[in-house]
Structures are given as structure tokens and as C-alpha cells.
Amino acid sequence: MLLLLLINLSGFAIGGMGRRDNPFQIPFDIIPRRNLVLGLSYQPEFLYIFDDRYSRSASDLGGLYPYLRFPFFLNLDFVARFNRYLDQNFDLLAQEEGLSRHLVGRGGVNRIDLGVEFSSSSIVLGFLHDIIFGSSEEIWTFQVGEVATADTLYYEFGGGGNRFQAGWLGTHLGIIGWGGWEEIRSETTLARPWLLGGGLRCRLTSWTTLMLLGSYEHWEGYENRPNLQLSLTSGPFSMGGFYRSWYYDGIRELGVIASFKLPIKRVGMVETSLFASITYDHGVKEVAFRPRLRIQVDEILKKRRRWY
């Protein structure tokens, strides 16, 4: 009998780097902002894992992730942000034929993005360098009857990667493309796949925009991953859906996204969004809910710059 008590790690991500890698994450904003921007986002996670034999719920309170953008020369902007790349917090208990195995994990992998973006009235070009770091601790406990033994393993993570983006924005139609590669080092080196993505942005009316995104990840020795996402934005509201395939054969993910942006006069913007998905394999399903709150300060900084 296998019981999963997951705190903030997807059941499908055990033994891999799965959940935290978002194939639709565009390196830079599609429409650049030519002023100083400070942002802060908060995103908890709630999971419900079940199959034909058992069900378990889990939650992750998340963390605060800052974002900075400022123009420094002509049409060039500098971008810096901090992200939680992968959470390694989990609690796994397996029992069979008198043997109990308990695995507890703590820690995670973080990523700092540093980049430069060039933007004009219709052209956007950008380059990001990723710095990956972090640590995790695993406590393995084995018990047979009244006898128990425990081992503790500690891992340090490092590495980095590069990502690029290019796009053209017209009055009613926009085209964007991005790609990149990463390498994570610990006891062994994990080379992330090449990621290539592209999208079409169609302006239907002055308030309504339709966007189609697609990406493809080429894994060596694993399942290659095509992904699709379609979203519709009308004023401050946005809704969309996506299909994602994982690097293990047979694992698929379907999800929906909804968001609302509330402008704050002379300050910036507050955005609330909800991400819901179902990941499924043969007999196992996982439902995830991830609300997000993002605060962006730019208007007050733009006004201040005009005083000088």
C-alpha cells in the first residue's frame, strides 16, 4: 500500500523536474513598458491526489517573488527577477509486507533571471541568463517491526542557462518566438531540453485580444513534449486553457487559467489569477489549484521621473 502525503511537490514530479517547469513562460513581457517597474507576486498551491485505492490532499503556502525592470540606455531595459524553480518539500510513506519506508524532503531549487531587452514601436528582442542555486535534505527512515534505521542525505544545487525572445507587434497582429536551454548540477548533471516556443497575438477589438501559444521540448532519452495554450483577454479580464504533455510517456495535463487586473491610479496594478489543472496517468489523477496575487508599481515611479 502506497500513501502519498505531499506538502508541495507534485506526485508526478517525483524522480524528475516536472511540475515547476512552465513551458508557456515567455521570458519577457509581450508589450514592453518604457518605465521603471517593481513587482511582487505570491502564489500558494493546493493539490488533491487520488486513484482507485486512496486519496490525499496537500497544500503549499508558497513564497514572495520580486521583479524589477528599468530602462537604462535608449531602447534597452534591464530585467531582474527571483523565482522558485522547483520545490523539494514532500512526505512519502510506503508500507508493504511488514516493511515501512518513510521519506521526508525539505528545500528546493531557486532561479535568478538577469536580462536585457530591446524594444521599439514594433520589434522586441531579449536575452536572459539564469542562475540556478539551492539545497535539499532527504531523511530516509526504514522500519521492520520494532527496529528502525534512518539516513540523511543533503544535496547542493547549482547551474544556469540562457533564454532568448524575438517578436514583432503590429496594430492587429503580433508574432513572438522564444527558446532556451538550462543545466542543473548536483551529484550529477541534468541537462534540460531545448525549448522552442512561438505564438500569435490577434487584436480583435480595441479591448479584446486572442493569443495562441505553442512550445516544443526535445528531451534526449525521454518523451518529447508538445504543448498548446489558448487565451482570450477582454479589458481587465482574461481566460484560457492549455494542454501539456510530460517527459514521461503517458502523463498528460489539462488546465484553465483566469485572471483579473485592477489598475490603481497613480500607483500601478493589482492582478489576481487562478490556475486549475488535472494531471493524469494510468489510474492516477492529480488536481491542482494555484491562486496568485501580483502587485505591480510603475505609475508612481513614472510620475516621479517626470519631476527631474
pLDDT of the residue at 240: 94
If the chain, 308 residues long, is cut into consecutive pieces of 10 residues, what is the mean pLDDT of each piece?
42 46 62 73 78 54 78 84 76 72 79 88 88 86 85 86 88 87 70 79 90 81 78 93 78 90 87 90 79 83 46
pLDDT of the residue at 16: 41
Question: Which structural domains are found in the chain, ordered by start?
Answer: 2-306 (2.40.160.60)
Q: Give me the residues paired with residue 284 across strands.
A: 51
**Neighbour count for residue 187 (Cβ, 10 Å):** 8
- Residue closest to 114 by CA, chosen among 161, 56, 167, 146: 161
pLDDT of the residue at 15: 40
pLDDT of the residue at 57: 52
